[in-house]
Chain A
């Protein structure tokens, strides 16, 4: 509770210096995958490897959500047979993974990015187009270190 409160404070009190957008990587087709290339604007703020690890984990989670395999077929067939009414009671696999992703991003923000004056926005809030990274001005974050 206290941690989220501090993130909210960060958003409202600190001045936004700039925003960086990490675009989608379409080299593997239409699956949801983000570029892992380290943006130059974050040079001074966060470790390159750390960032790439975050992006890779995110990509793996999305791959899990969109995986076509036995489990997804079973879910699809069950849904078809019940005329898709089964989703009134139960969440789709994709939605479950999206919740996992939201939790992961929150965790990463609290542990790694907020202390450095950065904030990752969940891509689902931007239509899975970009990962928005808000860079806050340095002066308000000095206490975080």
Chain B
């Protein structure tokens, strides 16, 4: 029953009418569709909800499952094969401590991954209209040909001037430290970064869980690493590994050579132990785990300076170096975040150098409490703010819903009317997006989208009423989880691949309003079968849409 574009429209219409007209009693005997809708079901961002709105994640969760598998498999192998030996020969506290650490790691991973990071709900239509009126009043009314100036408010916080940008997708002025995540299509408070490894953004509400996760994971990794080495050494002491080591070139236990050596040793030790082949598999898994983490940390941009060096030297450097640095990279990431917490900065701010003295001599962080201890306590033990998006609330007939399209209409239109008007515009804009996305664009400049990048109201039009359409979009932004942690880091690493990704995102972003945005993107487009004017006729009366149309015509004509 997939009728393409029209089906979700019909579904939405049906739901809307249902909520308004049917009484709660009638719903009891009917099918699931007629039951009162919860707000998470019409959430405009690109998130997934589980357990009827209790759990919330980003759309791409593949890497999260990989993280889970890696941790569980490695720990499982450790407990199955190393712990019996260690418990009997050293102390039974080892598996107990390991088990507690594992449970804590998994707990923090789930908490970081499933918690609402601090998403700001989008503005209601009335609110958006009020802001627009205020902005017009301050900026002066603009004629049809005039591009409105960038929408920025300046505030002075603790003596520092901070610029608050207007988010075109969410139709709000972003509070300080808030950034728009283009992967999740939400404004997130105190946005740190989007982490594919936990499958969610890291923001105000889940930063402490993320930090405790990486901290406990460092302890767990070092714990397993240390005790696996201990196991190998103790076992080899019994089977004369050291004497074998004297005969062969001295190598670190985890090099490929040693793994082969161990396999030579195992026939000898087979008589004495059931777990002869095990050390190799455990070691290999630990290597795999730490190597993957190492690659991940590089991808997260932590070693941005080191990656250039390593690219030259290549990952064919001795495995021991990789393993050694891998463990240290998780530990290093924990250290990096400890530094961020103690100075009360976000990854976003640190990478941009917002409070660095290199920018200006008198630049300082206005959010810092001045004291390392206070900063740490505030970040980790401070009050946990509640979720601002009422996920499990029931949709009331008179609840104002965020406007799917920024058509700038002020108005106290009913929800149903807004929905039905916007559905048609939604279909049109969707058609345009699909057409635009099939037209390749050449990208000639950096486009920051990983961290609170250009606000995009076009996406919201696809989000609200036609959420099922989202997968039909050239789902390219969602196909690059690696872009998340530090967009421009990856761009530096592999400019061609990521540029390609970047410019596939841009046509999606251009359909709606942002006045200055499409014109400032340094993109050139191959002539398309783009005919934006035709598709936008219904909306062309609005000056904002005219701007975007103009922008698109420019794009397609170059």
The residues of A with any CB-CB pair to B shorter than 8 Å are 11-12, 16, 19-21, 23-24, 26-30, 65-68, 72-73, 75-77, 79-80, 83-84, 87, 92-95, 98, 124-130, 132
Report whether B383 and A66 are in contact in the complex, using a CB–CB cutoff of 8 Å: yes
Binds A, one of B122-130, B300-308, B314-322, B471-479: B122-130
Report whether A65 and B383 are in contact in the complex, using a CB–CB cutoff of 8 Å: yes
Report whether A26 and B127 are in contact in the complex, using a CB–CB cutoff of 8 Å: no
The 6 A-B residue pairs with the shortest CB-CB distance, nearest first, are A76-B381, A127-B121, A127-B388, A26-B155, A73-B381, A72-B383
A83 to B172, CA, bound (A): 35
Q: Of A19, A26, A27, A72, which one neighbours B130 at CB under 8 angstroms?
A: A19
Q: Which residues of A are found within 8 Å of B155, using beta-carbon distances?
A: 26-27
What are 28 of the A-B contact pairs (CB < 8 Å)? Answer: A11-B398, A19-B130, A24-B175, A26-B155, A26-B157, A26-B164, A26-B176, A27-B156, A29-B158, A30-B189, A68-B378, A68-B382, A72-B383, A73-B381, A75-B383, A76-B383, A76-B384, A77-B381, A80-B380, A84-B209, A92-B386, A124-B386, A126-B124, A127-B389, A129-B120, A129-B121, A130-B127, A132-B127
B252 within 8 A of A: no
B177 within 8 A of A: yes
Report whether B212 and A80 are in contact in the complex, using a CB–CB cutoff of 8 Å: yes
Q: Of A16, A30, A93, A126, which one neighbours B175 at CB under 8 angstroms?
A: A30
Q: Which residues of B are found within 8 Å of A127, using beta-carbon distances?
A: 120-121, 388-389
**A29 and B366 in contact (CB under 8 A), knowing A94-B386, A132-B127?**
yes
Report whether B127 and A124 are in contact in the complex, using a CB–CB cutoff of 8 Å: no
Q: Of B127, B177, B384, which one neighbours A92 at CB under 8 angstroms?
A: B384
A98 to B126, CA, bound (A): 24
**A94 and B384 in contact (CB under 8 A), knowing A29-B367, A127-B121?**
yes
Identity of the chain A residue whose Cβ is nearest the Cβ of B204 in the assembled complex: A30
B412 within 8 A of A: yes
A61 to B384, CA, bound (A): 16
A72 to B380, CA, bound (A): 11
CB distance from B525 to the nearest CB of A (A): 36
Q: Which residues of B are found within 8 Å of A95, using beta-carbon distances?
A: 386
Q: Of A30, A67, A94, which one neighbours B177 at CB under 8 angstroms?
A: A30
Identity of the chain B residue whose Cβ is nearest the Cβ of A32 in the assembled complex: B385
Chain B residues 360 to 401 lying within 8 A of chain A, measured CB to CB, are 366-367, 374, 377-378, 380-386, 388-390, 398
Q: Which residues of A are found within 8 Å of B380, using beta-carbon distances?
A: 76, 80
**A66 and B385 in contact (CB under 8 A), knowing A29-B367, A30-B175, A83-B107?**
yes
CB distance from B388 to the nearest CB of A (A): 4
Other than A73-B377, A124-B386, A129-B121, give 7 A-B pairs with Cβ distance below 8 A. Answer: A19-B126, A29-B157, A30-B190, A75-B383, A80-B380, A124-B388, A126-B124
CB distance from B358 to the nearest CB of A (A): 23
Report whether B381 and A80 are in contact in the complex, using a CB–CB cutoff of 8 Å: yes
Q: Which residues of B are found within 8 Å of A98, using beta-carbon distances?
A: 386
**A67 and B383 in contact (CB under 8 A), knowing A26-B175, A28-B157, A30-B176?**
yes
B162 within 8 A of A: yes
Q: Which residues of A are found within 8 Å of B131, using beta-carbon distances?
A: 21
Report whether A26 and B377 are in contact in the complex, using a CB–CB cutoff of 8 Å: no
Contact with A along B113-148 (1 / 0, CB 8 A): 000000011011011001100000000000000000
Identity of the chain A residue whose Cβ is nearest the Cβ of B126 in the assembled complex: A19
The residues of B with any CB-CB pair to A shorter than 8 Å are 104, 107, 111, 120-121, 123-124, 126-127, 130-131, 155-158, 162, 164, 172-173, 175-177, 189-190, 209, 212, 366-367, 374, 377-378, 380-386, 388-390, 398, 412
Number of A-B residue pairs with CB-CB distance less than 8 Å in the complex they form = 98
Report whether A129 and B172 are in contact in the complex, using a CB–CB cutoff of 8 Å: yes
A73 to B127, CA, bound (A): 36
CB distance from A124 to the nearest CB of B (A): 7
A77 to B130, CA, bound (A): 42
A124 to B291, CA, bound (A): 45
Q: Which residues of A are found within 8 Å of B164, using beta-carbon distances?
A: 26
Report whether A26 and B162 are in contact in the complex, using a CB–CB cutoff of 8 Å: yes
A124 to B131, CA, bound (A): 19
CB distance from B175 to the nearest CB of A (A): 6
Q: Which residues of A are found within 8 Å of B121, using beta-carbon distances?
A: 126-127, 129
Q: Which residues of B are found within 8 Å of A24, using beta-carbon distances?
A: 175
Identity of the chain B residue whose Cβ is nearest the Cβ of A16 in the assembled complex: B412
Q: Which residues of A are found within 8 Å of B366, using beta-carbon distances?
A: 29
A127 to B156, CA, bound (A): 23
Which of B374, B377, B381, B412 has most chain A Cβ within 10 Å?
A: B381
Identity of the chain A residue whose Cβ is nearest the Cβ of B412 in the assembled complex: A16
Q: Which residues of A are found within 8 Å of B190, using beta-carbon distances?
A: 30
Q: Which residues of B are found within 8 Å of A26, using beta-carbon distances?
A: 155, 157, 162, 164, 175-176
A65 to B384, CA, bound (A): 10
Identity of the chain A residue whose Cβ is nearest the Cβ of B389 in the assembled complex: A127
CB distance from A140 to the nearest CB of B (A): 16
**A68 and B377 in contact (CB under 8 A), knowing A21-B130, A26-B162, A128-B388?**
yes
A19 to B412, CA, bound (A): 10
Q: Of B111, B130, B176, B377, which one neighbours A84 at CB under 8 angstroms?
A: B111
Report whether A21 and B127 are in contact in the complex, using a CB–CB cutoff of 8 Å: yes
CB distance from A20 to the nearest CB of B (A): 8
CB distance from B228 to the nearest CB of A (A): 27
A68 to B383, CA, bound (A): 7
A87 to B374, CA, bound (A): 24
A112 to B43, CA, bound (A): 35
Q: Which residues of B are found within 8 Å of A20, using beta-carbon distances?
A: 130
A59 to B261, CA, bound (A): 69
Identity of the chain B residue whose Cβ is nearest the Cβ of A20 in the assembled complex: B130
Q: Which residues of B are found within 8 Å of A68, using beta-carbon distances?
A: 374, 377-378, 382-383
Q: Which residues of B are found within 8 Å of A79, using beta-carbon distances?
A: 384
A5 to B378, CA, bound (A): 42
A27 to B161, CA, bound (A): 10
A24 to B130, CA, bound (A): 14
Q: Which residues of A are found within 8 Å of B126, using beta-carbon distances?
A: 19, 21, 132
A11 to B396, CA, bound (A): 14
CB distance from A30 to the nearest CB of B (A): 5
